[in-house]
Structure 1
């Protein structure tokens, strides 16, 4: 089984760019892709929230070790 690349903010944003282009190219029928774009938006928010939490954890650990 092939290993999948990790989900990153950069990968999500690239996917959002591609879906946005697909929506634009499809014209009025582009709304069919909106659920995909909305899912990517949620995934991006979750990924950013995790990074914020990890930054908080790292800052706390630095304070503990000081």
Structure 2
């Protein structure tokens, strides 16, 4: 199992590679990609909100401080 810092490093490396590829893509393709991501987020809104609610409930049970509004 990877440590938290190893997971973060892996994500950072993948993000860097993706940024390089994204910089080489035409503006039209980049715009279409962003629109596709936005549509995916919007179509998953209910699931995202449900997961966030569960996370907040779990943090309260673990006595983690309330998030800053």
TM-score when normalising by structure 1: 0.35
